[in-house]
Amino acid sequence: MKVVLAEDDSDDKFFFVYFLEDRDDITILNCVENGLEVLEFLNALADDSDLPDMILLDQNMPKMNGLEALKLLKSNPRYLHIPVFVYSTYADLNLTDNCLAAGAMLVHQKPTNKESYNLMIDSFIEKIKSSMEHIVG
């Protein structure tokens, strides 16, 4: 799966790339600093076949946070089909409810080690697969 990651914290960005580099089911297309840069990256892709299979948004980012970016992504017909996941250090009920209402597939607490990064990605992939089965079946 081709992934775009929005994460402003350099340590967390490093952990994503480092912890997931040995997975053969994930390719990180681009790591950007905020939601605005996600939209700029996607808008620069001329061919829809180059769009990611998944977008991961940190909630707390400068310029445009995860929820704001999510709302813009889900309001654009070109990006509406792309599964978007939000994660945050503090994934409380309010954030979860707001993100799910805006179209996020899942909201997850920020991982802290290699195992939890892989478990989070596994849960995202499983959610995508189950939603596809629901549509097909």
pLDDT of residue 135: 54
Residue type, 127: K
> Residue 85: phi, psi to the nearest 5?
-125, 140
pLDDT (tens digit, 0 to 9) for every residue of the chain, 137 residues total? 899 999 999 988 988 888 888 888 888 889 999 999 999 999 999 999 999 999 999 999 999 999 999 999 999 999 999 999 999 988 688 989 999 999 999 999 988 888 988 898 998 889 888 877 655 54
- 31: tokens are 């790591």
CA distance 102 to 112: 26
Task: Please answer whether residues 36 and 64 qualify as being in contact, where contact means their C-beta atoms are separated by less than 8 angstroms.
Answer: yes
Domains in the chain, CATH or no CATH each = 2-136 (3.40.50.2300)
Task: Please answer whether residues 55 and 4 qualify as being in contact, where contact means their C-beta atoms are separated by less than 8 angstroms.
Answer: yes
- Predicted structure pTM score: 0.91
Among residues 98, 16, 101, the alpha carbon closest in space to that of 56 is found at: 16
Helix (H), strand (E) at residue 35: helix 35-44
Alpha carbon 67 to its chain centroid, in Å, reads 11
> Residue 55: phi, psi to the nearest 5?
-125, 130
pLDDT of residue 78: 96
- 55: tokens are 């977008």
